Amino acid sequence: MKAVVFERFGGPVTVARVADPVADDDGVVIEVKASGICRSDWHGWLGHDPDINHLPHVPGHELAGVVVQAGKKVARWKPGDRVTLPFVCACGTCLECLGGNQQVCDRQFQPGFTGWGSFAQYVAVRYADVNLVRLPPEIDFVTAASLGCRFATSFRAVVTQGRVGPGQWVAVHGCGGVGLSAIMIAQALEARIVAVDIEDNVLALAQRLGAAVAINAKASRDVPGLIREVTGRGADVSLDALGSAATCSNSIACLRKRGRHVQVGLLAGDDYLPRVPMHLVIGRELEICGSHGMQAGKYAEMLALIVSGRLDPKALIGKTVPLEQAPAELESMGQFGAVGITVIDRF
Ligand SMILES: [Zn+2]
Ligand SMILES: [Zn+2]
């Protein structure tokens, strides 16, 4: 099959011929119809992710496609099924899985991280019965590919971890795929949204998706101060949707007393151990929580909102590209300025 491959971290990324994958007994092989290109893939390529402990490597974890091969222990899936899956493929049997928190499974399989991913014609995934999600006929592959990581992660971050409700002020720091998804979801929950980014064209899209206030962090010396000013007492809930020392700190500092910070963006590289204003966490009794994907069992609620039209992840797709263009797109993920999500849809 054709796949996007790199042989060393930060090294050249090429499209090459590699062996077709084979399904594990508990897994399936999926013919990839669409695969989102995510900042996490870029972190993986640069060697920021300890889960990638093998080379060469094929990135890609936001996928949708058709099952072409099912292992002999797979009961729920057969060739021809249209599916997507969370980027955390949970084992289904550890303590976290048994407690319903498959998103923090003790024995995760992550396509594109612990194994080869979906920047390829085919991808093998483990634990199919626990993790595959059937796509409703109304949802096309490109839209579905945007769900597995950024949209589902934002859904869990806003709905479950952030517990956002009508009328609340929600600040979203960083308006890439995660941030824009969070804005769309918070808007559907009738929250009031402050969007923060460093690019005016990205902020314009954030406003079209429902942000009441847009702040260009490049043009503002005191982002938290500005948010506290426009919201009155500070944001009820704030998300670091980028993952940097600055956005993490701003997100915590812009909260009202007893507000809630949700860390969604990965902190990697130089920002791996950011300085956190812990004095504010104490003095304002802030809540700090993380959000790590979303378990397959919770997809039904999100898919229903998409089918009903209350959420429209398609609006977040910036462009679609052929597999051959994926290496250049991956390498440029470190730069800012791209608007919306890029999806590979020709293989
Ligand atoms: Zn597990
Ligand atoms: Zn992702």
C-alpha 293 – ligand 1 centre gap (Å):
14
- Per DSSP, the three-state class of 69 is strand
Ligand nearest to the CA of 154: 2
Give the domains, in start order, of the chain with CATH numbers.
Answer: 2-145+312-346 (3.90.180.10), 151-290 (3.40.50.720)
| Percentages (nearest 5) of helix, strand, coil residues in the chain | 35, 25, 40
C-alpha 40 – ligand 2 centre gap (Å):
5
The pLDDT tens digits of the residues spanning 305-343 come to 999 999 999 988 989 999 999 999 999 987 776 778 899
Local structure of residue 147 (DSSP, 8 states):
I
How many helices (H) does the chain have, and how many strands (E)?
Answer: 12, 15
With residue 49 as reference, give the H or E element that holds it.
none
C-alpha 296 – ligand 1 centre gap (Å):
12
C-alpha 148 – ligand 2 centre gap (Å):
7
Alpha helices in 16-139 (DSSP H): 39-45, 95-98, 128-131
C-alpha 115 – ligand 1 centre gap (Å):
16
pTM above 0.75, yes or no: yes
Ligand nearest to the CA of 147: 2
C-alpha 113 – ligand 2 centre gap (Å):
11
Mean local confidence (pLDDT), 24-52: 94
C-alpha 199 – ligand 2 centre gap (Å):
21
The pLDDT tens digits of the residues spanning 51-73 come to 898 999 999 999 999 999 999 99
Question: How many Cβ atoms from other residues are within 10 Å of residue 285's Cβ?
Answer: 11
Confidence of residue 195 (pLDDT cuts 50, 70, 90): very high
Structure tokens that stand for 140 in this block? 């096309």
Q: How far is CA 324 from the centre of its chain?
A: 23
C-alpha 89 – ligand 1 centre gap (Å):
8
Q: How far is CA 190 from the centre of its chain?
A: 22
Q: Which stretch of 79-83, 110-114, 177-181, 336-340 has the lowest confidence by average pLDDT?
A: 336-340
Ligand nearest to the CA of 153: 2
Structure tokens that stand for 296 in this block? 């397959």
Please list all protein residues whose beta carbon sits less than 5 angstroms from ligand 2, which is an ion.
38, 40, 62, 149
Q: What angle do CA 198, 253, 203 make, to 5 degrees?
A: 25
Q: Which stretch of 42-51, 137-146, 337-346 has the lowest confidence by average pLDDT?
A: 337-346
